Amino acid sequence: DKEVTLTVNKAPLTVTAVNASWLFGEESPEFELVYDGFVNDEDASVLTTPVSVFIPPVIGPGTYPIVLSGGEAANYEITLVNGTFTINKAPLIVTVVNASRAYGEKNPEFPPVYDGFVNGEDSSVLTTPVSASTPATIESPPGEYPIELSGGEAPNYEITLVNGTLTVVRQTPVIT
C-alpha cells in the first residue's frame, strides 16, 4: 500500500467594500460588504475575525477611502478590496422675491432667500456672498425689469440662483 498525502488548500474568498455616496449633511449609510467565494452554504458567520470597516474623518464634500481590515477564517484565503465613498455638495437654492415700486422712486432692497442649508449653517458659510441687482434706475419707465442674482459660492453646497422681477408702476396722482 502506498501512502498518499492529500493537501486541502483554503478556498479563495474576496470581501469587497461597496462604493457609496450621499449628500453633505445627510447621515452616512451603513457600509455594505460583498462576500464572494463562500462554499458549502457558509457565510460571514464562519469568520473567526470579522472584516472591519475604517473610514477617515470627513471634512466636507469629496471622495474618501473605505479601508477594510481583519477577516480571518480557517478554511478561506481572504482578499480584501477597499472602496470609496463620495460626499456630494448639498443643493442650495437662492431666490429673490419679486418686487414692485412706483416710477421715480428708488429701488427697494432685494434680500436673497435661502433654502437648503444643513447642519445649522446659514449664509455666513458662503465664501462669495449672493448679491442682487437690477438695471432699473429711478428714471426707468414703467415696466418689468430683471432682478438678477450673482455670486454665491460655498464649499459644501451646489448653489442654484433663481432671479426675480421688479415691476415699475406709474405714480398714482394724489388729488387734494
CA dist 20 → 16, 37, 53, 79, 127 (Å):
12, 23, 13, 20, 28
Question: DSSP per residue over 80-137, as a string?
Answer: EE-EEEEEEPEEEEEEE--EEEETTSPPPP--EEEE---TT--GGG-SEEEEEE-S--
Of the pLDDT bands very low, low, confident and very high (cuts 50, 70, 90), residue 32 is very high
Mean pLDDT computed over 76-93: 97
What CA–CA distance (Å, rounded) separates 82 from 33?
A: 10
Q: How far is CA 172 from the centre of its chain?
A: 50
Q: Are 19 and 85 in contact (CB under 8 A)?
A: yes
* 8-27 residue pLDDT tens: 789 999 999 999 999 999 98
Does pLDDT of 147 surpass 80?
yes
Contact 165, 144 (CB under 8 A): yes
pLDDT-derived band at 4, boundaries 50, 70, 90: confident
d(CA 61, CA 26): 11
Partners of 85 in the β-ladder: 20, 64
Confidence of residue 173 (pLDDT cuts 50, 70, 90): low
Instruction: Give the pLDDT confidence score for residue 174 in this predicted structure.
Output: 64
- Distance separating alpha carbons of residues 50 and 132, to the nearest angstrom: 56
Q: Cα-atom radius of gyration of the chain, to the nearest Å?
A: 31
Mean pLDDT of 91-102: 97
pLDDT, residue 104, reads 93
pLDDT above 70 covers a percentage of the chain that reads: 98
Q: Find out whether 15 and 35 touch, Cβ atoms under 8 Å.
A: yes
Q: What is the pTM of this model?
A: 0.79
Span 103-114, pLDDT tens digits? 999 999 999 999
Residue 175 has pLDDT above 90, yes or no: no
CB atoms inside a 10 Å sphere around CB 36: 11
What pLDDT is attached to residue 9? 87
Average pLDDT of the segment spanning 44-64: 94
pLDDT of amino acid 54: 95
What mean pLDDT is reported for the chain?
94
Region 81-108: mean pLDDT is: 96
